[in-house]
Structure 1
Amino acid sequence: MLSLDMSNIKIMVKTSSKELFEILRDACIGILDLKTADCASLASEILHTLNKLTKLDLWGTYTGRCDIELPASLQCISLQKGECSSEWLCSLLITLSSFDHPVTCELWAVVLQSSGYTLGDELHTHVSDMRSEIMSHDMSKIEIMVTKCSKKLFEILRYTSIRILDLRTADLASLASEILHTLNKLTKLYLRGTYTGRCDIELPASLQCISLQKVECSSEWLCSLLITLS
């Protein structure tokens, strides 16, 4: 099996045993879709051996630090319907920052939990430590696509060096508006949704392209965007 090119194969796993992932060890499958956090835990020991894996889909609940060793071939990690702690997401982004090629992190219907700290001072200190750690890494090769998330996500991204941000709704653009100007390595911003009134998004000076995808907007909003770009 290891002698065959399996890069066109996608494997989706909902429930299984460790034995399955031992069978896949060192195989060259292209996409792996793990429907539960238990599957991800079982797969974690062999993921780094999948040297043709380009996309990893994850579902379920993740807490603590993300200690998944990802293969160097990975181009996209997609968090589908599930929950994760801020600490887990931060450590995932730190892992992605080590890649020497562009990589996409897709956040579909992800709920961000607290990190398990209940006392206010402890929580504040813990979040500050995580943000300091994430800001110290070069994330200019990372593209983040968001379909549904909370304001907490954008606070995590504040002052980071991500390269591309893809916001799939106007509500997300509104949530992100407070931190966009801090993303000093952002080169491209994708927007979707409906926009009216004046465009009051403060864009980072690093921006090279703003791409309006499937968008409905007022003339006033478009005019004020062009004035901002000028």
Structure 2
Amino acid sequence: MTAELSILDLFLQASLLVKIVMLILLGMSVVSWALIIKRSQVLSQAKAKAERFEDRFWSGIDLSQLYQEVEARKDSLTGSEQIFHAGFKEFARLHRNNGKAPESVMDGTSRAMRVALSREVDDLETSLPFLATVGSITPYIGLFGTVWGIMHAFIALGAVKQATLAMVAPGIAEALVATAMGLFAAIPAVMFYNKLTNQVAKLEHAYATFMEEFSSILHRQAFAANQE
């Protein structure tokens, strides 16, 4: 409790600019933690949804039936479901209009799924650049507050005839709190940015693998129908 009160005292005694720096760092830290929690939940849910859908996909269900199930809730599709929906919809349209040219059908289907994959990855990466920015700049913002606070302390010290450590120590301590707050904001941001980026990469790989497997199935259907 004493440490908390002393930090609060140091904040209250700091110069206006150092207080502003500390508040900026505190705000960035709070926003970072909110985004970390939110993104962690989103990525966990995305992984679970992808696993459930792929279990359903490989259960032996007819693809047309699965498409109808997915189509019924098309406004809430994400991940593998969205890629499947985009791919099967485009495949059905092209196959109906240009069934005698399976290469063209598969080219259009692949493009539709790649676009869907790109959009899904963009959604997964939402807010991650902010964490990278926080991890990069907050130490420097804190250092700026420290330099300013120390400079302010020494300017005040120069105005007295006899300087002592007791006179300069509080001002330096106030300034160093800014550096500590900068690190407090930066370290979790960097750690979770790396962790969440790795999760996004794994999901992207899972989506891409599913897309290739689904493309192979559609490819066989397209050429089989053409040979009939």
Question: TM-score, normalization: structure 2?
Answer: 0.22
Between the two structures, name the one with larger relative contact order (CA 8 Å, sep ≥ 6): 2
Give 1 or 2: higher helix fraction. 2
Give 1 or 2: higher strand fraction. 1
Structure number with larger C-alpha Rg: 2
